[in-house]
Structure 1
Amino acid sequence: MANPYRHMLANPGAVALMITSFFIKLPQAMVSIGLITMLVQHQKLYWLAGGVAATYTLVNAFLSPQISKLVDRLGQSRVLPFVTAFSLIMLLILLGCVHLNAALPWYFIFAALSGTMPNMSAMARARWAELFRGRSMLHTAFSLDSVLTEAAYVIGPTLAIGLSTSLFAEAGPLLAVVILIFGLTVFLCQRKSEPRVNKNAPYQKGSALAIPSIRLILLSFIAMGTIGGSVDVVVVAFAKAQHIAQAASFILAAYAFGSMVAGLVFGLVRVKIPMENQLLISAIATSVTIILPAISPNVMIMTGAAFIAGMSFAPTVVIVMSLCSLILPSSKLTEGITWVSTGLGCGVALGGMLSGRVIDSFGARAGFCVPVLAGFVVVFAAILGMRVLRQGQASLKEIEVSAT
């Protein structure tokens, strides 16, 4: 049996895109946690560290879809160098303000300005869609991309925290800047995979959120992010309650590893059932398996349960991204993928906040109700979206036919 990954990577530009997409994802995983670690090292104020990082994250969540909309209209090579340069300059000024102990309001101002960073994961996924749109290899490409994303979010925070605590406080964010400059330069040199700009494409005006199926996918991804964000907080609280605080890192690593393994395996499988049915099945798997950590009596069993629960995450991301490539017209591809990716990030923030409040009020075990309820929301969105997703794919096919 032929290896789908080898077959997919044999296409011109695929290996280069795989390597460079990892290097532009890695800094994205390092900046927020790097800012928190840096500010805690300098100011010893957790509220300040969390507030500055949240300012960066929220501004980025609202602006990155607009930047991606501009990318769809003008192209990656014309937009990304200038927008990214501005964001990195603002981030470097922020590092300078922290190093020089400037007035605190400047921290928030430059954190907001550096939040203009484009969503690099969306840029990479748009290129995978450009290379393999309409081909079975797109499924394998998105599976590989999900594994690269998981790897970036496992390695990135560890690298940022380790450098900032062992060398100097600004080391983590500073390395993220260097990696992004290198990675983006090489990424943009790959012109073959850059999505083509078609000014006459349908649906060019308006937002990608005007498409009903994208709104439902966004809802499901916010819920998925809520699961991930709440699991991070609840696991730490549970491990502390069991008086084995260090076990939290092993449990969370098992969750991420389960997602990576499932993503790799999913890329080897050719699923014949319709995409909307795949989404429903993965949603049900997500809602059922997330119950397992919630009922685990100790950290050892929870580690195994977290691995099983994580196995539904990457396949769901792959299915959603494949659906986006089918539903979104080329003139809105990057914007739509960015909205979905942003929804995941917003869900992570929401999950962390909600689970924290529940834990403070009712204890660590009660915090698991947040990811469990979010799992039901994922299923609800998938059920609600079955008919809408079919209509979205059918209407896009009609438009493409009439356009030709």
Structure 2
Amino acid sequence: MPISPHERAHKPLLTVTADQLVAADFSPRRPKGRGELRDKPHTTRTRQRTQPPAPSRAPYSHLFGLPGTRRFAAGGILARLPMGMFSVSAILMIAARHDYALAGAVVATGLAATALVAPCTARLVDRHGQARIAVPATAIALLGSLALIACVHWNAPTWTLFASYAATATAPNTGGMSRARWAHLLKDDPAALHTANSFEQAADELCFMLGPVLAAFLCTTLFPEAGTLTGGLVCMTGVLIFAAQRATEPPPTGRTTARSPIRTPGFPSLLAVFLAMGAVFGSLEVVTIAYADARDNPPAAGVILGLQAAGSCVAGLAFGALRVKGSADRRFLHCLTAMTALMALPWLTASTLGSLLALAPALLLAGMATAPTMVTAMTIVQRRTPEGQLNEGMTLAVTGLLGGIAAGSALGGWMVEHGPGPDTAGFGVPVLAAGTALLLALFGRSHRMSSRTSSRTSSRASGTAGSRTTDLPAPH
């Protein structure tokens, strides 16, 4: 078959000279660029596609396989366990020699002092480092606990009880410091950070579930001061273990002129949501205790509230094993919706069945919405808090939560004593508080979206105005 001249020009020429085979390639060459070697072979570039790392089948094993994480996690849990003991221990200790009215007033004063002092302590932790601030702050809190024991034991003037218990407010937010360490270690791994936040929330639930039980056991079995004494010593030991692990500690920021995280856009609305969520927890505890007391079975309240905390703990661990997708803000709305729906279960159960035995599984299911909601909320706090102020941001969130717990406890108690309808009407307060949290989150999200839209519109308008200005001819 004849070959066209065009095809012949593009085929290599093969010839033999003596004992060598010579091949001459007459195919067209691409033009050489300036400064390019003419004998440089032409290479084609191929884009290498990097595949994302496959999700670990054991996220918690990966988490605690990192150096130092097991030690600071153990110290953090040990330091947090007394946080669920202090209030109950102080109430039982003071009431043993005085009355419950004075005990409640002293504890309320301590919570108010914590709301004022805790953000300042967290700001110092961010500036100067966790170990440098947490250890002396915990030592001051331990001295306050010992002073309270001495004042109660030797019948000191009443004002000394308020002063000594207020000194315990210097105890640092160990849960916030632990979350800050995870955020520092896993800043490039959002999936692992989600697992870490879930573990921390489960640890919180475990401590607040076991703390009151341990405090009541020590104060009633040994002596009234045993709970406060043990709690102070355990807290100091846990903080020392936590602070000794320096390799995982975030670097201090030093003195900074940065504004408080509360002035960050979107943060005040988030604090309002935390306030409403705290009202859910505070009111649910009070109305459950009153419901059990009205049925002549007060000890059952501790058991079924423990089931609620257990449900939250299990749900938190399971939530941490999942690989969540999508926006955290949207996920937060879903969690709040589920919390509102599940909080209606105890209300419906108490109103229709009127049995403590039936209320227990309802509280177990209601508790399963707590940990996922709190985990997602803390993730949003971490993202909205400016860099170098993470401890302060999370402590402000916890402070808002404590304020909501106090308000919810008061509102739930009022509904039980003076509210309209049957004694089960108090279970409507947690539902109302959860619905309020959902509405506040929806309002905050819509406000942020409208702010972004207006800022984009203004930037486009300024850009258009600038282009029109530059198109104007220069004056002659």
Letter in 2 for 1:385: G
- AA aligned opposite 1:271: V
Between Structure 1 and Structure 2, whose CA radius of gyration is higher? Answer: 2
8 Å Cα contact 1:276-1:389 kept in structure 2: no
2:159 maps to 1:78? no
Is the deviation greater in 112-121 or in 9-18? 112-121
Residues 35 and 49 of structure 1 are in contact (CA less than 8 Å); yes or no, is this contact kept in structure 2?
yes
1:257 corresponds to 2:310: yes
Sequence identity (%): 36
Identify the residue that residue 445 of structure 2 maps to in structure 1: 386
TM-score by length of structure 1 reads 0.92
Matched, 1:325 2:378: no
Q: How does 1:86-101 map to 2 (within 5 A)?
A: 86-101=140-155
Deviates more, 1:242-251 or 1:319-328: 242-251
Matches within 5 A, 1:107-122: 107-122=161-176
Structure 2 partner of 1:179: 234
Q: Map 1:2-401; keep pairs closer than 5 Å.
A: 2-43=57-98, 45-135=99-189, 136-199=191-254, 204-296=257-349, 297=353, 298-362=355-419, 364-387=423-446
Output the amino acid matched with 1:220.
V
Shift of 1:24: 1.0
| 2:173 alignment partner AA | N
Q: 1:399: which partner in 2?
A: none
* Distance (Å, rounded) in 2 between the aligned partners of 1:69 and 1:285: 34
Measure the CA separation in 2 of the matches of 1:110 and 1:166: 25
* Contact 2:127 2:255 (8 Å CA) reproduced: no
* Matched letter for residue 227 of structure 1: V
Contact 1:327 1:392 in 2 (8 A): no
Inter-CA distance 244–112: structure 2 relative to 1 (3 Å threshold): closer
Aligned residues: 391
Query: RCO greater where, 1 or 2, for CA within 8 Å and sep 6 or more?
Result: 1
CA displacement at 1:133 relative to structure 2: 2.1
Query: Residues 359 and 367 of structure 1 are in contact (CA less than 8 Å); yes or no, is this contact kept in structure 2?
Result: yes
Structure 2 unaligned regions, length at least 5: 1-55, 453-476
Separation (CA, whole Å) in 1 of partners of 2:70 and 2:449: 33
1:390–1:24 CA distance, 2 compared to 1 (3 A):
farther
Please report the RMSD computed on the Cα atoms of aligned residues, expressed in angstroms: 2.0
How far off its partner does 1:241 sit?
2.4
For residues 313-355 of structure 1, the C-alpha deviation after alignment (integer angstroms, 9 at most, x for no partner) is: 0011111111122221222110000010111122111111111
**Is the contact made by 1:32 and 1:57 (CA closer than 8 Å) also made in structure 2?**
no
- C-alpha distance in 1, partners of 2:108/2:283? 16
Kindly provide the amino acid, as one letter, of the partner of residue 61 in structure 2. R
Contact 2:142 2:233 (C-alpha < 8 Å) held by counterparts: no
- Unmatched runs of 5 consecutive residues or more in structure 1: 394-404
